[in-house]
Amino acid sequence: MKKLTVLCLILLLAGSMVFAQGAQEGGKKFIGLAMPETHVERWQMDGAALQAAAIELGYEAEVAYGDADQTKQNAQISDFITKGADLLIIGSVNEGVLSAVADARRDGVEVIAYDRLITGSDQYDYYITFDNFKVGQFQGGAIVKALQLDKATTANPKYITLFAGSPTDNNAFFFFDGAMSELRPFVEKGVLKIVGPAPLSSKDTANFTRIATENWRADLAKQRMENLLNGDAKNYKLDAVLAPNDTLARAIIEALLTDAKYINAIPVVTGQDGELASIQFIKDGKQAMTVFKDTRDLAKAAIKLADAILKGEAPVIAGARLDTETYDTGKKVVKSYLLEPVNVTKDNYVQVMIDSGYYKADQIR
């Protein structure tokens, strides 16, 4: 009996070793794709597009989703390393990913930070994302335009409430600061009044934390909007809500629609990601805009970058701007490739989201 168990163990071990080396043995290099979560729709698109692009360039590739749990994602990364990954593309959950990135470097596995900067690390060299400050500028700019803030007066100011993304996601600061770069002049002029906590920059940590949404959780955003409606915003009629992405925008809109004041007069609510349900909301006049970041393009560009790194070539990433100054992890400035986001409204959603083949026309009613 004992002998049999030992034999089984040996066989199992041998099997896993073959698997660990399998990627290299077959002549194909192996790319591990660690995505942070699935509750925000885009990441499933990212995962699928990354895998398809990697396979197209002749790589083996596997995707794992961390369910917004860094411990889980670290285990997935460690699994990729054990399986003999040559390179990892990581959309991290939070800074807890550092130990996994250090393990990768120790084992000579390259890491590309995907969409989200991995802060606090000097153990990787490359970052690929969209211009996230511009995402925020589109959101802030949409509010300026819709509320005609350039014509607003102190006697008749407009009212806004602010939401931000996860305080553990570096992108959340960029989105917010981009939006506030558009809105701040009007707040300072006194024609735009902030209802509730009022950070004018993400550097106002105490107030930023109050408007931030841990792990981009829709239930938390909805709850906070409900609390505002019964609290700070009770005696105002809001003209706009700055929402950082579509998942949170819809949760906020849901809360607004429970208040009689807003049923026929929804404030201008911003978004991001071009999620299908939000495109429907935009068509129906419930959500004002979204910012589309074509995950197909980001995925393709990331795999091109991976390919160049693995071949020891200088990366040439069409459609991306190389930035070697802005993205400081706190330990080093990483080479960053930035793609262009697109502002989407009722006027151009058909062209941007459907004509481009991202969605099919019959997916929108």
Enumerate binding residues for ligand BGC (CB under 6 A): 40, 42, 115-116, 165, 169, 171, 216, 245, 272-273
Q: Smallest distance, Å, CB 72 to ligand BGC? A: 16
Nearer to ligand BGC, 176 or 216 (CB): 216
Q: Smallest distance, Å, CB 41 to ligand BGC? A: 9
Closest CA to 115 of 47, 55, 64, 213: 47
Packed helices 218-230 and 246-256: angle between N→C axes, nearest 10 degrees: 30
Q: Are 139 and 242 in contact (CB under 8 A)?
A: yes
Terminal-residue alpha carbon distance, the chain: 64
Give the C-alpha separation, 159 to 142, whole Å.
15
Q: Smallest distance, Å, CB 155 to ligand BGC? A: 38
Give the C-alpha separation, 181 to 201, whole Å.
8
Provide the 10 A C-beta neighbour count for residue 152.
18
Nearer to ligand BGC, 62 or 169 (CB): 169
Q: Smallest distance, Å, CB 40 to ligand BGC? A: 3
Give the C-alpha separation, 84 to 22, whole Å.
8
Give the C-alpha separation, 146 to 296, whole Å.
30
Q: Smallest distance, Å, CB 133 to ligand BGC? A: 12
What is the amino acid identity at position 276? L
Given the DSSP bridges, would you call strands 290-292 and 342-344 parallel, antiparallel or unpaired? antiparallel
Nearer to ligand BGC, 116 or 304 (CB): 116
Nearer to ligand BGC, 152 or 291 (CB): 291
Nearer to ligand BGC, 80 or 216 (CB): 216
Q: Are 127 and 334 in contact (CB under 8 A)?
A: yes
Q: Are 270 and 258 in contact (CB under 8 A)?
A: no
Q: Are 87 and 108 in contact (CB under 8 A)?
A: no
Provide the residue count of the chain. 365
Nearer to ligand BGC, 233 or 242 (CB): 242
What is the amino acid identity at position 158? K
Nearer to ligand BGC, 138 or 186 (CB): 138
Q: Smallest distance, Å, CB 258 to ligand BGC? A: 24
Q: Are 331 and 316 in contact (CB under 8 A)?
A: no
Tokens coding 10 = 């040996």
What is the amino acid identity at position 131? D
Nearer to ligand BGC, 76 or 245 (CB): 245
Q: Smallest distance, Å, CB 158 to ligand BGC? A: 26
Q: Smallest distance, Å, CB 157 to ligand BGC? A: 30
Nearer to ligand BGC, 139 or 207 (CB): 139
Tokens coding 72 = 């889980």
Tokens coding 125 = 């060299």
Q: Smallest distance, Å, CB 338 to ligand BGC? A: 12
4 sits in which H/E element: helix 2-25
